[in-house]
Structure 1
């Protein structure tokens, strides 16, 4: 969609104006004309949401300038401003419709992406559950294999097969059966502190100033 931007009327060449208006002296005061600027991108490509937003701002500025010119002293300037104002208002209506359609299409894309993300999260959970099940079955089968082989050869630490080897290594670990029964000398102590956000929020809302904390107000958006 072409963009309408205000330009000074002095920038328009006198030869571009036909008829008696070309001979009329230039009216004093601010003047505004509308210049169409093609949006960037390939020909025929619909403008982006940002381009439509910029166009809306430019149209708002142009309409405000043209509205001021309706109070000009020169009748010709008022007539010209009125014609350009009507064109700007029509362009603004088209821009509003295009912006609404583009925003609606953007909402559809957002919903599609979120739906796709939810589906992939479900798939990831399903694959995680499958992987957990496969790993559990592999561990159980390995334990059964080791149990059978070590019963046949209790002192063995390695088993060799045509295509695989089953090896082992010795490790040590402490198992705590009852932590409460341990003497304090065998305990380590940790202390931690964290802000009480509920109390801080209540105090800030009550008007108290708290160093290192502030109350932020946010607005969340939802597409329905």
Structure 2
């Protein structure tokens, strides 16, 4: 059984990669709703075979995922539901890669690469001492492989070095409450904890996104719960 940072592969999943199975809202507007699970099954490609793999982007040249260099010559790239290009793929993004793979050579020809963020919204709380933060009520934990990407480039502690860790993010958020939000990409364990592989810091647009399994749906009241959050879509 393969693992990622000590977590068994079958205990990790990526809500949102297949949007038909998930609820997604932007700025409170429901785009897709279903009552089925967001957990995905993965078919691994072998030598001369084809299949679907998923994991964080760890390098470029082409795109490296799970130790395989995937060539993008014929690949369709989709980022957060929109057609995109090579430049839109970033380190730490959890992606789904489809295509032929030669395991012996460590290469593949991707036909499709899809990225869907787990979570996007304002930070509720940050605890650098436990390498964790809470976003839209969801617990996010970090490790030494988590990639930060700062799109705001603000002065922090007198230095224009951007956000490079949780302490910087907390300093930015404390100094500018309500001005910024984060986009999270990561793997989700069986307790719905997101193990972040990438955190992107952005100016708060007022449009937020939460992906997960719907529960307690009440059609008459036009309300449902999703991973601990009550949503009113009336």
Which category describes the TM-score, using the shorter chain as reference length?
A: under 0.3
Structure number with higher helix proportion? 1
* Structure number with higher relative contact order (C-alpha < 8 Å, ≥ 6 residues apart): 2
Q: Which has the larger radius of gyration?
A: 1
TM-score (norm 1): 0.17
Bigger strand share? 2
Give TM-score, length-normalised by structure 2. Answer: 0.17
